[in-house]
Chain A
């Protein structure tokens, strides 16, 4: 052992030179297939890439699967490399002779394991047909069901994985192949793998393209692609199904595509690179040429793949169904046929998958019907989840897809051995024997050859004759020293993993052949452990998922390790175990710590994303709440301010009410509402009379003048009335001030209730006359004119001021008191003056400046309401008051409105009608006349007269003090539409008695007498049938009212 150690170091240093020399030496020997294999091994040794080291165990176990001792030979091979030239010739003779001798003993043990698989063939055949998804996945009939592309690639890698092949040779081989055929070789300069693909001929010349295979954080990907894979096998498998960045999917040689037996794949892989020149490959050509249907099938495959790809480009998850179907198809048949040989074959190819699958496969047979649906359900959900994520998840999906294929491979392997023929097996065995011979040849020392022989013999004898093992104790110990280290590592792993995998252990122990295979797998565990530390370095999410799968692989491999360590424990030294145990514990602890964060990370991410979403939702809610609250707060503040203002107003109002003037005005208003007072009755009657006669007016001026006269008369009566003396307190008022107070009170008690009716009446009259429509239309015309056309030479009110003006005019319209309306009009004009002074303060503006701006303003206000307001003010204002300024601005506003109303005519004649021009003059004369009338003592009054019966069909009739009963009867006849007035007369019903009135009596005097009688009597004037009474009775009645008059 010591001598091989130091020899190993020198060969590593000089490996490139030696390897090149070896290759050159072997070139002349290309014709023999045997020398090709050693070339592959030699080129693999010096490769420093972890992927390559990973590949070595995968490829070599396949070739050495049948020979049980291959692991111990590998370390010996490396020291022999430095002596290739000299011992090459000598060993060539020796291994041949040795090989001829060795094949004799192996046949017996291989024959024994073949019997069990033969016994199991019937069960796997039955479940295959019922699977409906299998035909969908099987686009090619020649392709056997169950063997996945990944499995084929792994088993035939010596054919297409040519790491030692140069570019020229690769081009030479591919130029003879069909498009899609590929090779994977190594670029000597960059020391990276390269994918060489045969493309369609260009200009009649064969075209081959090379794509570098990049490696990053132990992940492989094609240059220009974003898809990453764990190893070269998964990468190639994916591109055989989906082209991604390739012009079309990769293709395996037809022979490999059609292979249906594992033995056949082993034969093909044994040929290695010579396959491309062998009859098998030429046979493929012949088949292709002869089988046109085969080519059609291929085209269909490509078309279906393209269709799927096109769909996949839009939805990456769609690709998964292919893998899912393959997995589900392979699961059912594999589960039904758990062949031991299949497991042994799987083990050397991939240790991790081997350790995984045996345990789950065995329980599956009883649960066969449930297995497929579970897989289908689980996989789609995963795919959907990953699809929801971004591109990395898509790559992750593909990886899992590859994992599924691995599982399928194991299951398929278990199934395929059943139909294998005995004649094929001997051929494979012979090949294995040949490999063994090569290994012996590689060993330099004479002592080495006898040791492997002894191991094999010892193992076989152990199963048959345990005594023989005891005979050779020394040689066994010496040979076992090397594997002891690896075995000890296995022991540590086994100890920890035994607990979770207890049920599987006895199954493994039952089969002694499996134990030996597990022992072969020992070196597989070490590289896995070594590779694990690298994986934690990858912070990308996909690697985390890989770690999980690796952990499961390790756990699945536990039982096999246990079986392998059992027989060796007694012979191994305890101190070595302890030291190795400690070493093993650290990586495990790191694995656990790495795993927990991996497991926790996604959970935290989920909770974080959920919480972040909730936080965002909360933030939105909070924002909404704030938005809602802000206006509330503002409203509250505004309300507070308003309430403060209102409080101030209330205090002002209360203070105002405390004034003597206010108090008197209030009492007059109260008296006007009191039906017990004569004044109250008078007000009520006047209001009823006005409402009744309002509709009969055809002129707005006439209607308003009647109302104004009523107000003037009421005021005149109240001034002369004794009832006012009762209300008025000790405070003495001048006549002028008293009139002002009374005017305000009467306006409140009369005009306020009538305001709506008055405006409706005005509106009807002007609408019928077409004034409102005309005003509206020409207002639009004026709005369209320029300020220059209006004669404006100053600044005009801007938008905010215009809004203020419009608001004030709106308030003016709502007011009922003519006095207050005029005050609001003056305030509005003042605002206009202020806006005119903008830019030139201090300058006084006369009519030349003011009128044009007023026109501008009125054209942008509610001109209809203002027209009615101006007339309301002009006709209902107190004519006695000297409202010089008010009169001026009323006249100016009225003139402007008339100017706008006739704007179209203005353009032509520039003349207003004489009637309009004279309207102000006539208005002023009306005011003068009203003032003159006010000086008279005559006051109009009203009498309510019922028709036929008291209190029925009562009408309010206006009468004056000098109105006679005869005159009143005339009004009654007209009012009640009586055709024969001669048959009716006027009577007064007092305390149940009707008293006829004489024609010359004064009804108003009678009313006044009865109203002021003490105690007061209920009286009703009734217009009913009857004749005028005789003169004597008339005289009597005349004398009666005279007395009350004198009393008054």
Chain B
């Protein structure tokens, strides 16, 4: 095992590290969760995109200086009636983006509730980012930037106002999350196992699986 592990390490040394994280989207419906993520994914280079059957699940990698971070983005239904299903998604997640609409104060209140629930039930080390979407509708703003900024700082959250339409702060948001993710996790045996599961040969494996599927 140690020898094999060493071999693997040698194989990885020439390449950057690859870290895979599960990121969950939370927020009221119609605040633009899907649009935000789609803008992020489509704004990236094609070589880093993975084809998915729909927008409820998306995968996208981000390049940092010495590490490639791959996000598996799990969208959730914002309807009140499906609130109880959210724990199935955010438990075990390493990151979460809570989205609200700056033109609807009620969505900001809802976002605060999600943050409180995450801090109480999610992983202790989960990285939470607050996103004030639809910044392009500044003329209809009803949630002041300062108010959200203050709340985020007090709670220890990342905060950015974004616009899926204009792509404002979309990449910045995901990069900020990636940078904040604890890279040291790769040293963890669990992450090491994942590391072995994640390498450049995944595409081949997927093609093989698709053949089997056929």
- Indicate whether A910 sits within 8 Å of B83 (C-beta atoms), given known contacts A740-B205, A829-B53, A848-B30: yes
C-alpha spacing A542/B121, complex, angstroms: 106
CB of B79 within 8 A of chain A?
yes
CB < 8 Å: which of A823, A845, A851, A916 contacts B82?
A: A851
A982 at the interface (CB under 8 A from B): no
Closest to A907 in B: B81
Chain B residues, Cβ within 8 Å of A896: 85
**Contacts A737-B208, A820-B213 given: A848-B84 contact, CB under 8 Å?**
no
Q: Which residues of B contact A894 (CB under 8 A)?
A: 88
Chain A contacts of B76 at CB under 8 A? 847
A891 to B87, CA, bound (A): 11
Q: Write out, one digit per residue, whether chain A residues 811-831 have a CB within 8 A of any chain B CB (1) or not (0).
A: 000000101100100100110
| B31 nearest in chain A by CB position | A848
Q: Mark B64-108 against chain A: 1 for CB-CB distance below 8 A, else 0.
A: 000000001011111111111111110110000000000000000
Are the CB atoms of B1 and A935 closer together than 8 Å?
yes
Q: Is A925 an interface residue (CB 8 A)?
A: yes
Residue B59 at the chain A interface, CB threshold 8 Å: yes
Among listed A267-275, A288-296, A594-602, A876-884, interface-contacting one? A876-884
Q: Is A28 an interface residue (CB 8 A)?
A: no
Nearest chain A CB to B126 CB, angstrom units: 12
Partner of A920, one of B52, B77, B91, B198: B91
B46 is an interface residue with CB less than 8 A from chain A: no
Does A427 count as interface, using CB distance less than 8 angstroms? no
Contacts of B83 in A (CB 8 A): 910
- Complex interface residues of chain B between 47 and 70 (CB less than 8 A to chain A): 52-57, 59
Contacts of B197-214 to chain A: CB distance below 8 A: 197-199, 201-202, 204-205, 208-214
**A847-B76, A888-B57 given; A910·B91 CB < 8 A:** no
Which parts of B169-206 form the interface with A (CB within 8 Å)?
Answer: 189-190, 193-194, 196-199, 201-202, 204-205
The answer to the question of B20 belonging to the interface, with a C-beta cut-off of 8 Å to chain A, is: yes
When distances are taken between beta carbons in the complex, the residues of chain B under 8 Å from A656 are 211
Pairwise interchain contact B53-A833, C-beta atoms closer than 8 A: yes
Are B84's CB and A845's CB within 8 A? Answer: no
Contacting residues, chain A, for B80 (C-beta < 8 A): 910
Q: Would you call B84 and A852 a contact (CB within 8 A)?
A: no
Q: What does the 1/0 interface line of A725-743 toward B look like (CB < 8 Å)?
A: 0000000001011001000
Q: Judge if A335 is at the interface, Cβ distance under 8 Å.
A: no
Residues of B within 8 A of A31 (CB): none
Question: Quick check: B84 and A847 within 8 Å, CB to CB?
Answer: no
Chain A: minimal CB distance from B83 (Å): 7
- Interface check B38, CB cutoff 8 A: yes
In the complex, the answer to whether B201 meets A851 with C-beta atoms within 8 Å is no
Interchain CA distance A652-B214 in the complex, whole Å: 10
The verdict on A845 contacting B54 (CB below 8 Å), with A884-B59, A885-B59, A920-B88 known, is yes
B209 touches A928 (CB 8 A): no
Partner of A830, one of B1, B54, B75: B54
B33 contacts A848, CB within 8 Å?
yes
B157 interface contact, C-beta 8 A: no
- Give chain A interface residues in 884-935, CB to chain B under 8 Å: 884-885, 888-889, 891-892, 894-896, 898-899, 906, 910-912, 914, 916-921, 924-925, 928, 931-932, 934-935
Least CB distance from B39 to A in Å reads: 10
Distance A899 CA – B196 CA, assembled complex (angstroms): 35
Q: Whole-angstrom distance from the CB of B109 to the nearest CB of chain A?
A: 18
Q: B54 touches which one: A850, A914, A924, A932 (CB < 8 A)?
A: A850
Contact at B77–A736, with CB atoms within 8 Å?
A: no
Q: Whole-angstrom distance between the alpha carbons of A881 and B193 in the complex?
A: 11
Docked complex: B85-141 residues within 8 A CB-CB of A: 85-89, 91-92, 121
B34/A847 in contact, CB under 8 A: yes
Q: A819 to nearest B CB, angstroms?
A: 6
CB of B112 to closest CB in A, whole Å: 19
| Secondary structure call for the A interface | helix
Chain B: residues with Cβ within 8 Å of the partner, total of: 56
B57 pairs with A884, CB closer than 8 A? yes
**CB-based contact A737/B1 at 8 Å:** no
- Given known contacts A736-B201, A829-B53, A846-B56, A882 and B20 CB-to-CB distance under 8 angstroms: yes
User: A791–B77 contact, CB under 8 A?
Assistant: yes
| Distance of A438 Cα from B92 Cα, bound (Å) | 143
Closest chain-B Cβ to A747's Cβ sits at a distance in Å of: 10
- A896, B77: Cα distance in complex, Å: 11
CA distance A656 to B212 in the complex (A): 10
CB of B33 within 8 A of CB of A910, answer no
B29 on interface, CB distance cutoff 8 Å: yes
* Residues of A close to B212: CB separation below 8 A: 744, 817, 819-820
Q: How many Å lie between the Cα of A935 and that of B197 in the bound state?
A: 12
Interface flag for A844 (CB, 8 Å): yes
- A952 close to B (CB within 8 Å): no
Residue numbers in A under 8 Å from B57 (CB-CB): 884-885, 888-889
Task: Answer yes or no: A1038 CB below 8 A from chain B CBs.
Answer: no
Q: Tell me which of B30, B85, B204, B213 contacts A912 (CB under 8 A).
A: B85
Residues in chain A near residue B77, CB distance under 8 A: 791, 847-848, 850-852
Whether A906 and B55, one on each chain, are in contact in the complex, defined by CB atoms closer than 8 angstroms, is no
Q: Contact: A885 with B52, CB < 8 Å?
A: yes
* Contact with A737, one of B33, B82, B201 (Cβ below 8 angstroms): B201
**Contact among B30, B33, B52, B92 for A925, CB-based, below 8 A:** B92
Q: In the complex the two chains form, what is the Cα distance from A817 to B77 in whole Å?
A: 30
Is B52 within 8 A of A881, CB to CB? no
CB distance from B136 to the nearest CB of A (A): 19
Task: Give the Cβ gap from A438 to chain B, nearest Cβ, in Å.
Answer: 123
> A740–B201 Cα gap in the complex (Å)?
12
Docked Cα-Cα span, A921 to B72, in Å, equals 16
Q: Which residue of B lies closest to A934 (CB)?
A: B193
Whether A891 pairs with B82 at a CB distance below 8 angstroms is no
Q: Which one of A744, A882, A889, A911 lies within 8 Å of B198 (CB-CB)?
A: A882
Q: Given B1, B193, B201, which contacts A931 in the complex, CB threshold below 8 Å?
A: B193
Most B CB atoms within 10 A — which of A819, A934, A935?
Answer: A935
Q: A891 vs B209: C-alpha distance in the bound complex, in angstroms? A: 21
Asked if A888 and B55 make an inter-chain contact with CB atoms under 8 angstroms apart, the answer reads no
Question: Which residue of the partner chain B has the closest CB to A824?
Answer: B213
Q: Could you tell me the distance between the alpha carbons of A848 and B76 in the complex, rounded to whole angstroms? A: 7
C-alpha spacing A925/B22, complex, angstroms: 13
Q: How far is the CA of A921 from the CA of B87 in the complex (A)?
A: 8
A778-799 at interface with B (beta carbon < 8 Å):
791
Known: A848-B30, A848-B78. A931 touches B84 (CB 8 A): no
* Chain A residues, CB < 8 A from B211: 656, 661
Q: A736-B199, A736-B201, A895-B88 are in contact. Are A850 and B190 (CB under 8 A)?
A: no
B32 to chain A minimum Cβ distance, whole angstroms, is 10
Q: Which residues of A contact B88 (CB under 8 A)?
A: 891, 894-895, 916-917, 919-921
| Alpha-carbon gap, A1013 to B100, bound state (A) | 71
A758 to B29, CA, bound (A): 40
In-complex Cβ contact of B197 among A820, A823, A847, A882 (8 A) = A882
| A910-B84 CB under 8 A given contacts A848-B29, A882-B20 | yes
Q: Which 6 A-B pairs have the closest CB atoms?
A: A846-B34, A921-B91, A917-B87, A847-B75, A920-B88, A912-B84
Q: Could you name 12 residue pairs across A and B whose Cβ atoms are closer than 8 Å?
A: A661-B208, A734-B201, A823-B210, A829-B53, A845-B56, A885-B52, A888-B72, A910-B84, A914-B87, A921-B88, A932-B189, A935-B189
The residues of B with any CB-CB pair to A shorter than 8 Å are 1, 20, 25, 29-30, 33-35, 37-38, 52-57, 59, 72, 74-89, 91-92, 121, 189-190, 193-194, 196-199, 201-202, 204-205, 208-214
The residues of A with any CB-CB pair to B shorter than 8 Å are: 652, 656, 661, 734, 736-737, 740, 744, 791, 817, 819-820, 823, 826, 829-830, 833, 844-848, 850-852, 880-882, 884-885, 888-889, 891-892, 894-896, 898-899, 906, 910-912, 914, 916-921, 924-925, 928, 931-932, 934-935, 937
Given contacts A737-B201, A885-B52, A891-B74, could you give 14 more A-B pairs where the C-beta distance is less than 8 Å?
A: A652-B214, A844-B35, A844-B38, A845-B55, A846-B25, A846-B75, A847-B78, A848-B79, A850-B77, A884-B59, A912-B85, A920-B87, A921-B87, A931-B197
